[in-house]
Amino acid sequence: MPDLGTVVRDIAEEMRLAPDRGTVASYIPQLAKVDASHFGICVIDADGQYHTGGDADVPFSIQSVSKVFTLTMALGTEGDQLWKRVGREPSGNAFNSIVQLERENGIPRNPFINAGAIVVSDVILGGHRPSEAIGAILTFVRDLADDETIIIDPAVAKSETATGYRNIALANYMRSFGNLRHEPELTLGVYFHQCAIAMTCRQLATATQFLAHDGLNPASGRRVVSTERARRIGALMLTCGHYDGSGDFAFHVGIPGKSGVGGGIIAVVPGKASIAVWSPGLNAVGNSQLGALALERLTRAMNWSVFAA
């Protein structure tokens, strides 16, 4: 077994020099400004040791990576009732597709596409004011990451709100089917702000640890979710975590992960590691190009796979 620290540093160096870095997301002006040359990685092993490379301490917009944390919250308050309003199947469509909603009566296919995450935000909102719900999400993520300095980037949040026409369309469309309980602008207020949370790879890997350890935060010893729920969230990440590239990610990387259009990806090797990578350039289906490549290199070098005997 190779040395994990060396592997992580080698990958960071390879990715620093990689010529083909994908395309930085342009649909939100604030994201389009991010420098494509960034690459960061943080791996926390089973002993709680941190192994980092590149820009592991540079904060970035976590975007859809937040969907894992809000799903965890919503399952906490709503339990399996949530699944009446969101499915658990891969979508077979782009992350912001609206076609499927028309065909399936406003029930999004899973909580990791935009429509599904908006329903999850609606659950978290739960009759409170958007600012309260946003505060609760931030508190939850800070707790998981054990870092009170994590903030929501106001420029990104404003940018999302001003240009989020597709998400506004998705929310109103679901509302027309009765699958949002609040006025769309309130629910979207929550959704846009959760996407604008800024975190580093180090913070993200920390926050994701509970999913690598059957729901237990190994640092604090605190249980975040039940064993069963942790595994089920892992199953959703594997089947649905990379939009219409989820099958390909499972095939090449072989572990549960969740990507965001900010270029971040979190992933877990159950019992072995919690991982966060970041590179802003995206591939054709909207996942971090170098992030996915780095994870493939990492799991191959370490012989990590949930499908390993």
Residues classed as catalytic? 64, 67, 191, 243, 261
The order of strands in the sheet holding 60-61 is 60-61, 197-199, 151-152
Q: Which of residues 105-134 bind a copy of itself (CB under 8 A)?
A: 109-110
Considering only 49, 149, 247, 284, the residue that binds a copy of itself (CB under 8 A) is 247
Single out the segment in contact with a copy of itself by CB under 8 A; choices: 3-11, 65-73, 168-176, 275-283: 168-176
Using CB under 8 A as the criterion, what x/- string covers residues 47-86 for binding a copy of itself? ----------------------------------------
Task: Indicate whether 155 belongs to the interface with a copy of itself (CB under 8 A).
Answer: no
Quick one: which of 89, 243, 247 has its CA closest to 265?
Answer: 243
- C-alpha closest to that of 106 among 86, 120, 122: 86
Per-residue CA distances from 123 to 73, 77, 164, 232 (Å): 9, 8, 20, 19
For residue 284, state whether it binds a copy of itself (rule: CB under 8 A): no
User: In this structure, are strands 40-45 and 50-54 parallel, antiparallel, or unpaired?
Assistant: antiparallel
Closest distance to a copy of itself from the beta carbon of 281 (Å): 21
Neighbours of 261 (CB within 10 A): 25
235 binds a copy of itself (CB under 8 A): yes
∠ CA 112-118-120, rounded to 5° = 75
- Binding residues for a copy of itself (CB under 8 A): 87-93, 97-103, 109-110, 165-166, 168-173, 175-176, 184, 212-214, 227, 230-232, 234-236, 238-240, 244-248, 250-251, 254, 256, 270-271, 305-309
